[in-house]
């Protein structure tokens, strides 16, 4: 099950997924979501699983169909993330006993995701909606396990983790320039900073 920081690896251009994962792991990251619209995502998921075994939990993001989910699971993904409310994908994940984080924003979408069987609700863009939005929703729906994503920073990660089991952090952590420049030490330093900030919750 997801807990704490989930690093989101998303890139338009081809990047070294394995070395990126190595750098994140060296910085203390233990959960990585690789989005399926990243070049080589499925192979990357398989490589990370082979390299780290159970030391790193790796999942597939931007899952848009049951075919995407099937391919991700075949590659070794241990959890799935959808960007929007997709009941059929949630049902498929439930049938495969695979944790799924379903994208939703409005109260109706959030509750529907839960009713469909989603383990977590990915709230995006969390940075714009803010912590107060999450707290307001948790009033009538205290059983929702939010994973705020989009706009999670070093400054607010600890605050989000005070009320949420996990957060998804994309480009603020898995910096595209650092990946393209192969600045693995820089990526590890950034991961260390986020891990430290998360512990302030």
Task: Give the distance from CA 16 to its chain's centroid.
Answer: 19
For this structure, is 122 an active site residue? yes
Residue 155 falls in the annotated catalytic set = no
Q: Determine the length of the chain.
A: 201
**Residue 43 contacts by C-beta under 8 Å, 6 or more apart in sequence?**
17, 75
Lookup: tokens for 153: 């920073």
- DSSP secondary structure code for residue 11 in this structure: -
d(CA 93, CA 79): 9
Q: Which residue has the tokens 């605050």?
A: 159
Number of Cβ within a 10 Å radius of residue 156: 17
Q: Which of 90, 86, 10 is nearest to 44 (CA)?
A: 10
Catalytic residue among 19, 33, 109, 155: 33
Phi-psi region of 121 (alpha: psi -120 to 50; beta: other; left: phi over 0): beta
CB–CB of 187/15 below 8 Å? no
Structure tokens at 201: 């919750």
Catalytic residue among 96, 122, 145, 199: 122
Enzyme catalytic residues: 33, 122
């Amino acid at each position: 099950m997801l807990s704490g920081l989930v690093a989101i690896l998303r890139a338009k251009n081809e990047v070294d997924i394995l070395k990126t994962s190595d750098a994140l792991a060296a910085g203390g990251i233990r959960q990585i979501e690789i989005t399926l619209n990243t070049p080589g995502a499925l192979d990357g998921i398989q490589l990370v699983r082979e390299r780290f075994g159970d030391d790193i939990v790796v999942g597939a993001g931007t899952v848009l169909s049951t075919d995407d989910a099937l391919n991700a699971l075949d590659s070794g993904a241990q959890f799935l993330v959808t960007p929007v409310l997709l009941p059929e994908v949630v049902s498929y994940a439930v049938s495969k006993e695979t944790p799924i984080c379903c994208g939703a924003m409005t109260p109706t979408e959030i509750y529907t995701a839960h009713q469909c069987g989603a383990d977590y609700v990915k709230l995006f863009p969390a940075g714009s909606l803010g912590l107060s939005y999450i707290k307001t929703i948790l009033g009538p729906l205290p059983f929702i396990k939010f994973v705020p994503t989009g706009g999670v920073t070093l400054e607010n990660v600890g605050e989000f983790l005070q009320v949420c089991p996990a957060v998804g952090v994309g480009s603020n952590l898995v910096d595209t320039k650092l990946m393209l420049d192969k600045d693995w030490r820089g990526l590890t330093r950034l991961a260390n900073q986020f891990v430290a900030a998360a512990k302030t919750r």
